[in-house]
Amino acid sequence: MKYIVKFLIVAVLLVTANQTLAAQDENIAGKLFYTELGGPGVIMSANFDSRFNSNARLGLGYRIGAGFGYGSVDGQNNFERVTRTYYSIPVGLNYVFVKPNSASGFEIGAGASFLTRKVALYYLDVEKRGNVIGFISFMYRRMPVNGGFSFRAGFTPIIGTSGDMLPSGAISLGYAF
């Protein structure tokens, strides 16, 4: 009888500890909504970022957004150049490195932005305009463990359709949940 009572006490403590750890995992902010100035959205974009493991703040994840920019397009005749607004959909994969209880981390990512017009960006691709640009991102990331205000800043080179690379940067503010 004495062993059964001890066993039940240990079992109850283990189940309680497991539920406490599971509850702590649920409070981890692994999703992020942010607006970004620069980067793959070209001028400005609104983005959603999450990890593939829904209860994690680090590891492999994805981003998807909607943005806009200005680019040079052909006018009425082929000799005329006109600046027009276009919209972008940046999509990418990223990996976040962060210590378990730290708000600061580092993000490395890559992807593509799909554009609504064939444009020449920042004097890139003047001869070869396209609807898709590539990007790479190296970002400092501040994302509180339990959610709240988030900040990202870093280097995001843009790769044009002709293979030209434009050094670019990005800064973003958002909310982690």
22, pLDDT greater than 50: no
**Extended strands (E) in 75-103:** 81-98
Q: What is the pLDDT of residue 152?
A: 96
Query: What is the reported pTM?
Result: 0.76
Q: What is the pLDDT of residue 78?
A: 59
137/24 Cα distance (integer angstroms): 30
Question: Domain range holding 85?
Answer: 29-176
CATH code of 33's domain: 2.40.160.20
| Residue 122 domain-assigned (yes or no) | yes
121, pLDDT greater than 80: no
Complete DSSP assignment for 157-176: -EE-TTS-EE--EEEEEEEE
| Residue 15 domain-assigned (yes or no) | no
Inter-CA distances, 21 with 15, 49, 156, 177, Å: 10, 24, 37, 18
Q: What is the pLDDT of residue 19?
A: 45
Cβ burial, residue 115 (10 Å; 0-12/13-18/19+): buried
3-21 pLDDT, tens per residue? Answer: 555 555 655 555 555 444 4
Q: What is the pLDDT of residue 146?
A: 87
| Residue 84 domain-assigned (yes or no) | yes
128-159 pLDDT, tens per residue? Answer: 667 888 999 999 999 988 889 999 999 999 98
**Number of structural domains, the chain?**
1
